[in-house]
Amino acid sequence: MSDIGISAIERCKSRVTNPSTLVEGPRGFAVWHGPLRLTAWADAPFMVGEVEISRLHARTDFLSGFTGSDEQCTLLRRIMPQTIFSGIVRSPDDPSRLQLACSVYFAAAGDPCMLEHFLIAASVQPAEIAVLTPTKDELASVGLAVAEAPHPRLGLIEGDLDLFKKGLDPYKAAGNQPAACGADEIEEAYSEFERSSFLQHCVLETQSDECIQLEFPCLHMTSLVKLATNVPHPVIGNGLVSQLLLPNWPKDPVKFALELNERELTTNTQVNFLGGWSVDKFSTPTFTSFVPNRAHIRGMAVMSLLTMMLRAYWVESHVNGGAWTFSRSCELRGRKLSELAEVICQEGKPLT
């Protein structure tokens, strides 16, 4: 019987552009892009009912010398929201080494567009790093450096990171066009939400041709799931963005974002990890996943919304230790509507 994980990794390997640097592993491979090492592998398959599933991973070394200092976290706060297909994590083998990581669950009869998205995410990690990496002087000023990895046969492979940036050029060109995901696909995603079990746990929802916003219980407040086509990526332009925003986390928010990324990748969340957690200037932990125009396949809107709702549930149940119940959602809805009514009344009062 074939191993579906290995079969998927073989497809990933077939896209390697520099096979002379390829090093085989037991369930995957490593390949070098200049000094950067990209590792891809498949976890051993497991069964969910009668369905065989394997989790696929890809990681590329990014920065070395990470200690978690305030200066380094300030730099990461700026970099993390600019990632595209992957999230920033600490290497499990060396926590001082930061990596870009992505991961998906793959089943033989699964959604082919999600596997394709993983293959794209893995192949452009070096290009992402080239775009994200600050200057050597700026890195050195906070004790960081590019995470160079010697090849076991060839030693340290020289390479100019700027040359890898062209890997994103096709996505940037397509990103100059209007969003490939149309209003009908947003409507389709919203209809799927209305038919799902998530509806009974939703506190508030809004929808337009370009955006869906759904609130779910989170701690004593709510998290916000967003799906939008009117929010361009700062690097590659237009596409489909899905986000999960948690209530503000004022204590060490950057480290919390790193921990969320790492926790997702090391536990069986059954949620695809294509994107990553970051924090904004308000210390709001936010998971952002972006499907650029060039990578868009019909069905991604439904899959993106479903994935982000599952992530919202996972955060509340496995990170916060809470639970979604119908009564709790009703209580939060009542509170939210009362707050909204109060704001409307205040805004409607004449100025005195």
* pLDDT on residue 251: 80
Percent of the chain at pLDDT exceeding 90? 80
Give the confidence band of 352 by pLDDT, cuts at 50, 70, 90: very low
Q: What is the pLDDT of residues 120-139, one digit of tens each?
A: 999 999 999 999 999 999 99
* pLDDT on residue 347: 66
Quick check: 87 pLDDT over 50? yes
18 φ/ψ sector (left φ>0, alpha ψ -120 to 50, else beta) = beta
Q: What is the DSSP letter of 155?
A: B
Yes or no: say if 310 and 273 are a contact pair by the CB < 8 Å rule: no
* pTM metric for this prediction: 0.94
* pLDDT on residue 42: 96
| Those residues with Cβ within 8 angstroms of residue 14's Cβ, 6 or more apart along the chain or in another chain | none
Quick check: 349 pLDDT over 60? no
Average pLDDT (272-294) is: 93
Q: Count the neighbouring beta carbons within 10 Å of the beta carbon of residue 233.
A: 20
Quick check: 148 pLDDT over 70? yes
Q: What is the pLDDT of residues 59-69, one digit of tens each?
A: 999 999 999 99
Quick check: 213 pLDDT over 80? yes
* pLDDT on residue 234: 92
Phi, psi of 34 (to 5 degrees): 60, -130
* pLDDT on residue 351: 42
Q: Count the neighbouring beta carbons within 10 Å of the beta carbon of residue 324.
A: 18
Yes or no: say if 225 and 308 are a contact pair by the CB < 8 Å rule: yes
Phi, psi of 19 (to 5 degrees): -65, -15
* pLDDT on residue 184: 97
* pLDDT on residue 109: 65
- Per the structure block, which two tokens stand in for 40? 């891809």
